[in-house]
Amino acid sequence: MVESESHYPGGLQTIINLFQALPDEEKREALISYAEQAPKWAPKPGETFDLEDVRKDEECTDTVGVFLKVSPDQRTVFRVSLGPQVQTLTRAMASILCRGLDKALLQDVLEVPGDFVPKIIGADLVRARSHTVYYVLTRMKGIARVYLNRQRVTGNS
C-alpha cells in the first residue's frame, strides 16, 4: 500500500522530517525541548495582531491564547500564550506549530491536515492523548478561518 503524501507548509515539513528521522527516545527529548521553547512564541510587549483568541476550554488544563497577524501578502505569524498549567505536550505542539507555520500562507494554514501529528509524536502518544495533541492546531485553524471570513465580509481579501 502506498501512503499518500500530505502537503505541509515548508517550515512544518522540515520539523516533520526531523522527527521522522529520530528514534522514540530522541523524539521525546525533542518534544520536551520544543515545550521549553514555548515562551519564545508568546506575544511580545507592543506587538499588535489582526485577531486574538484567549480562553480556557474544557479540553485544556489552563488558558491558551492564540494570536494571529496576517501580512498584506497573506502570510501568517502566530503567537501563543500558555497558562502555567498547560501540559508539556500542548506546549510542544504550540511551539512546533508557531515555528512550522511562521510566514505560511493563510490558505495553507487552513489546509494543514492533522495527519502530521503522529509523524511527530508517534502513534502511541496520539492514542493516549488524542484531544490534547490536536487542540492547538484546531485553535490556529479556527482563528485563521475567522480572519478569512471577516476579510470576505469587508471585501479586503
Q: What is the pLDDT of residues 54-66, one digit of tens each?
A: 988 877 778 999 9
pTM: 0.87
Inside any domain, residue 65: yes
Inside any domain, residue 32: yes
Strand partners for 78: 68
pLDDT attached to residue 40: 98
- CATH number for the domain harbouring residue 77: 3.90.1010.10
Q: How many CB atoms lie within 10 A of CB 7?
A: 10
Q: Rounded distance, CA 90 to CA 134, Å?
A: 9
155 pLDDT more than 80: no
Domain residues for the domain of 91 are: 10-154
149 pLDDT more than 80: yes
Residue 1's pLDDT band, with cuts at 50, 70 and 90, is very low
Lookup: cell for 47: 506587538
What is the H or E stretch that residue 82 is in? strand 76-82
Domain count, the chain: 1
